[in-house]
Amino acid sequence: MTARGWQGKSAAEWVTLALSVLMVGALVGVALVEESRRQEGDGAGLDVTFDTEQTVARGDTFNVPYTVHNTGPNAISSAEIWIDVFDGNLLKESAEVTVQFLPLEGKQDGVFVTTFDPATHTLMGRLESLQYP
C-alpha cells in the first residue's frame, strides 16, 4: 500500500516540502523582524558597560572587564571610544579604546587597565567616532 497523494506526490514528499517551507519561512521571518528592529534603531548606537564586580587587582593596577555593544542599525567597521575615570566630578584618567569591527548587535569584550580603584571611582565610556563598512 502506497501513500500517494495529490498528483502522484507521496505523503513523505509532502512532509519534506512542508518542513522546507517552514524552515525557509522561518529564515525569511527572522530577516523581516531584524530589518524592522534595524529601522527602529538610532543612528549611532554604541553602549559601553563595565563589569566592576569582576575587577581583578594586579599590584597597583585594576583590570576592569568591559563590553562594547553595537545597538545601532548598521555594522561598524571601526569605532574610537574614550573611557573616562572620574573621582566624583573630577576627571582622573582618560584612555582611548579602538574597536575594529562590530556586526549588527555585535559585542566586543575587553579589559580596561587603570590605576584607580573602580570601587571608589566612576568609569564612563563615550563615543568619539564611528566608521561604517
- Summarize as ranges the residues that interact with another protein (CB under 8 A): 1-3, 9-13, 15-17, 19-21, 23-24, 27-28, 30-35, 38, 74-75, 77, 101, 103-107, 133
Q: Which is nearer to another protein, 101 or 111 (CB)?
A: 101
Lookup: cell for 79: 569605532
Listed in sequence order, the residues at least 6 apart from 16 whose beta carbon sits closer than 8 Å to its beta carbon are none
The rounded distance, in Å, linking the Cα atoms of 57 and 37 is 40
Closest distance of CB 42 from another protein, Å: 16
Q: Which is nearer to another protein, 19 or 113 (CB)?
A: 19
Closest distance of CB 132 from another protein, Å: 9
Q: Which amino acid is at 82?
A: W
Closest distance of CB 65 from another protein, Å: 15
Q: Which is nearer to another protein, 44 or 92 (CB)?
A: 44
Closest CA to 109 of 47, 44, 45, 59: 47
Q: How far is CA 89 from the centre of its chain?
A: 29
